[in-house]
Structure 1
Amino acid sequence: MTADRDGGQERRALIVGASRGLGLGIVARLLERDWHVTATVRRPSAALTDVAARAARLRIVTDLDIDDDAAVAALWSSLKAEAPFDMVFVVAGVATQAGTPAGQMPRDVAGRVFQTNAISPIRFAETFRKRVAPGGLIVLMTSKLGSVSLNQGGGWSSYRASKAALNTLARSFAGQYATADWGVVLMHPGWVRTDLGGRRATLDVETSVRGMVAVLEGRLDQGPKDGCAFLDYQGQTVPW
């Protein structure tokens, strides 16, 4: 945290993938909660620009593709002289051809899903781990669909597997840095009405976002926890 003009403490967040849906909602909620937010997008977002017009504490970084190592490195370089972040939240993800069984998907499509949903978030966390403030959090957006024990009916098999891979990699990452002074959270947002979740989903963006931010702020207030937590937007632990 950094000191504000009145001597209090202000929290700083880096939100990766904020052009729409949950990423956009998280940015808006954090700003309501008086955070300073740096939000990244692959291409300009009219919705995010509209939020920025009403929020002095928001900075937008464009042309950031989480699968582009050079772009991620350039972002790190541009931020290295600034105060660290209390929270780095990687929201970006894809559900390309999610309805196609994994055994029937083109190999290149399946590979891109795993790159974006599992490998790239961990590579981003590895790059930015030294930009997390003591007591801060690295948060990775996952899904209950990535729970192996809860997978009874199948469906969305490539997406499920990519999130299960992310969960495993995140636990390995947390174990690798077990002595770090920051924590790792895998966050399930619920089934939310977004482009990915679809119109039949049970939650609106605002309900999910308010819950996630409340859970994460509570965790920050408590200080970092050992290991890697798999939580939903209500703060409940999701089975692995």
Structure 2
Amino acid sequence: MSDRQALVLGASRGLGLVLAGELVRRGWRVIATTRQEGGELQAKADVSQGRLEVERVEMTSDGQLAALRERLDGRRLDLLFVNAAIDRGNLPIDEVPAEMFTEVMLTNALGPLRALEALRGLVAAGGTVAVMSSEQGSISRNTEPGFELYKASKAALNQLMRSYATRYAGDGQTKLLIDPGHNRTRLGGFDAPLAPEESVPAVVDVLEARAGAAGLRFLDRHGEVVPW
């Protein structure tokens, strides 16, 4: 089990940072990405005895993703996890500038799927590809007002992941969209009910429990199905 290897994209802070650390704590070897050098992720890597490696990459850059794929050539991943999201406030959709719409959709929906496409060849047969989603992306649960752009971006992410799963239905890989709950992060706000240190171990429990179960699931941190 100590040979399990994961690549976590978007691990400089918040949920991604805690996820990388939790995987290391459980004996995984982890490659984690950040857009900037240094910081808490690098500090964790420095004391990890080689179990945590840091790569610098901008996930919205096709060129940087291709370069990362080349640097990791020959590595085989048991888990590829993409964690990326931004929020630009609670404007009603008729007040959202086109540039803001494009930025949020690019980062929250298109970027993660482009990353999966670029790096999926590193994932071992029977491995897992997973993306951090949100209950906010559930259309059937969208019954309260607010955060229209963010909700739309996560719904788009979920739909694109379904298309991805359909395209690669025969590859035998586990495919997951994960709702980690409402966490106290820069994105979730510091009055949120959950700390990442509470929710992420449950998320990893789900990742480990679902390993080897081919097909796509949209699950919360308890392993329960989130309705589309």
TM-score (norm 2): 0.97
Q: CA deviation at 1:154?
A: 2.3
Helix, strand or coil for the counterpart of 1:140? strand
User: Which among 70, 74, 84 is matched to residue 67 of structure 2?
Assistant: 74
Matched, 1:89 2:81: yes
Equivalent residue letter for 2:223:
G
Hey, which bits of structure 1, 4+ residues long, moved more than 6 A? none
Alignment of 1:83-232 (within 5 A): 84-95=76-87, 97-220=88-211, 223-226=212-215, 228-232=216-220
Q: Which runs of 5+ in 1 are unaligned?
A: 1-7
Residue 53 of structure 2: which of 36, 53, 59 is its match? 59
- Please tell me whether the aligned partners of residues 172 and 214 of structure 2 are also in contact (alpha carbons under 8 angstroms): no
% identical aligned pairs: 41
Q: Residue 237 of structure 1 aligns to which amino acid in structure 2?
A: V
What is the distance in 2 between the residues matched to 1:98 and 1:208?
Answer: 24
Aligned match of 1:233? 221
> Counterpart of 1:5?
none
User: For 1:229 and 1:65, how far apart are their aligned partners in 2?
Assistant: 27
For structure 2, which runs of at least 5 residues remain unmatched after alignment?
none
The whole-number CA distance in structure 2 between the counterparts of 1:135 and 1:98 is: 39
Deviation at residue 108 of structure 1 after TM alignment = 0.7
1:37-87 Cα distance to aligned partner (Å, 9 max, x none): 00000112421121112102111011x1111110001000111122x1100
How far apart, in 2, do the equivalents of 1:101 and 1:44 lie? 36
In structure 2, what is the Cα distance between the partners aligned to 1:119 and 1:234?
Answer: 27
**Given the alignment, which residue of 23, 48, 62 partners 2:41?**
48
Name the count of aligned residue pairs: 227
Q: 1:156 and 1:45 mapped to 2: Cα distance?
A: 32
Residue 45 and residue 146 in structure 1: after superposition, are their counterparts in 2 closer, same or farther (change >3 A)?
Answer: farther
CA RMSD of superposed structures (Å): 1.1
- Residue 9 of structure 1, CA deviation: 5.3
Whether the 8 Å CA contact 1:30–1:37 is kept in 2: the answer is: yes
Normalising to structure 1: TM-score of the pair? 0.92
Residue 2 of structure 2 contacts residue 28 of structure 2 at CA under 8 Å; is this kept in 1? no
Cα deviation code 1:111-140 (max 9, x no counterpart) = 110011001111111111211111111101
| Separation in 2, partners of 1:224, 1:129 | 17
In structure 2, distance between residues paired with 1:45 and 1:193: 23
